[in-house]
Structure 1
Amino acid sequence: MTVIGWDIGGANVKLARVEDGCITQVVQIPCPLQADRAKFDQALAEGLKLCLPGARHAVTMTGELSDVFADRAEGVAYLVGLMRKATGDRTLFYAGRGGFLDAERAIERWREVASANWHASATLTAALCAEGLFVDAGTTTTDLIPLKSGAPAARGHTDGERLIEGELVYSGAVRTPVMAVAQAAPFQGVMQRIAGERFATMADIYRLTGELPEDADPYPAADLRGKTKQESAARLARMLGRDASEAGLPVWVDVARYVAACQLAQIEAAARELIVREDLDASAPVIGAGCGRFLAKRLAELLGRPYRDFAETIDCAPEMRDMAARCAPAVAVALLSE
């Protein structure tokens, strides 16, 4: 049996093909940069070209949060309708604790369907690693889900509830503006405030530190220019009200490392609260997923815990492990729906 797992996000669509429990294909398709809902039509059309006729489809989403929709209910209805039109009755929609629903019930129970992708990843991971801290560091957010007794130990279920509980940190490795992570930074031995403008993003930070995977940032840079280290340094310099020519590249790398440390400190603080709350055993690992899972690995080091990669927990060919870990929710809904 072939199942296609979909994770429909506002910036990209991820899909994973699973055949008899084995991951055979994982891809990520950027949504076109346009301010209307047709961007989802185009991205899904590209994804459907990769699907085998007669395959079953399992869908989760965060794209309903896109500002092309008036609210989340409208977003869920549109994306569910889009998939139903393309695949008919062969599609099920993931609703977190509610399991998989058909299209009609998915629209009725939109609150459960909206942004439930984290629950799919955590549920699959917990079935394979009974206790731990699941950390999915993506382009814009970081999910932190304690796992206990083979199930997610999340208290929040909507994004609002999860932000209250510290299970969602709205900070990621690519699209997050630098100004959302740090309000000051050191420059040549002096701390200074930084600009409240989207001159640079965390993609620039991690390009400068050398940690960003080469193809993890398909989006235009903040100034619509290139993505070399020098161009990232120029954008970061603007955050300090400066030109990159005021210092050599190593100075801007040091600034980037400081900002990166600020982001990791935010994630670490949330992680420690969850570990204490759930009384996780000291041997319980951090399981990392997402394009920014290098953050999860560093977090494990700070917490003194073993680290496991999401791709190590599933049946996946070595050459697909990186994409499988980046696209964990798509992989998860495919496997959970088998």
Structure 2
Amino acid sequence: MGYKVAVVGATGNVGREMLNILAERQFPVDEIVALASRKSLGTEVSFGDKTLKTKDLDTFDFTGFDIALFAIGSSATKTYAPRAAEAGCLVIDNSSLYRYDPEIPLIVPEVNPQAVHDYRNKMIIANPNCSTAQMVVALKPLHDRARIKRVVVSTYQSVSGAGKEGMDELWDQTKGMYVPGQERDPSKFTKQIAFNVIPHIDVFMEDGTTKEEWKMVVETKKIVDPAIKVTATCVRVPVFVGHSEAINIEFEEFLDEDEARDILREAPGIMVIDKREDGGYVTPAECVGDFATFISRIRQDSTVENGLNLWCVSDNLRKGAALNAVQIAELYGREILKKG
């Protein structure tokens, strides 16, 4: 049995990646449509060995479609997601619009698959923030074993998290360092991103945290356990694709680094590459195009009673966005649609 699927925002980075992953994972599709704004009408996008022409989102009727994968901004999602949901089509939304609605499940399939049954509340499932998604995949199996009390995370987030404009700005500024007349001032980012790091993602909040940092706190609590304390510092770095995170975890019980390594090796969605030698770890350049969340540098933290440090890397356009959305669609198809 195949499904009728719509990809909304099919011409953007995440939308194109959704189409790629649906094809790569051989998602059971009877019919698929690529939707975009009117200005992108007729733009061609790839789905496996097929080429799709985008249709107009504004006039599209979702009636009869099973799943809609949304990869557009929050303001547009606010207009079109309810239309799809009211037509009986499940919306899997990659924006931040619905993540904090208590009636809407926020899902990472390796972590809280049981939440898929809450789709009935509003026919909408939210996809978490890219930095949260990869972190909770690593936290959940360790939390099940030793109960996490507190997490301190510093992120090193690629410019693709800011969309095509962010990638273009890094490329143009890098060229401008070497080609006279090609210099480009910051526009997408608040400061120069080429050969620099910027400790600022999203807007500042009253307490001095940024909204990206707040998202990691709130989403981890919603997905894993509301009792976990989280503090985050989110940093934009001059990498095109792939987010990295240095994660410090404090547990209620002692967890030996060797046992933690074994637990993570057996956990779904994780690949452990952790050799204490030159190059015995994963960097963002090596994770691009991969489905896995990579874990390296697992080691005891001797400054607290029950602490571990680890390094976490993932392709943010995949696990942080498109892949997680497709995995939710797979979960929904398996647990809800097939069971009637």
* Same fold per superposition (TM over 0.5): no
Q: Give the structure with the larger helix fraction.
A: 1
Q: TM-score, normalised by structure 1?
A: 0.37
Q: Which has the higher contact order (CA 8 A, sep 6+)?
A: 1
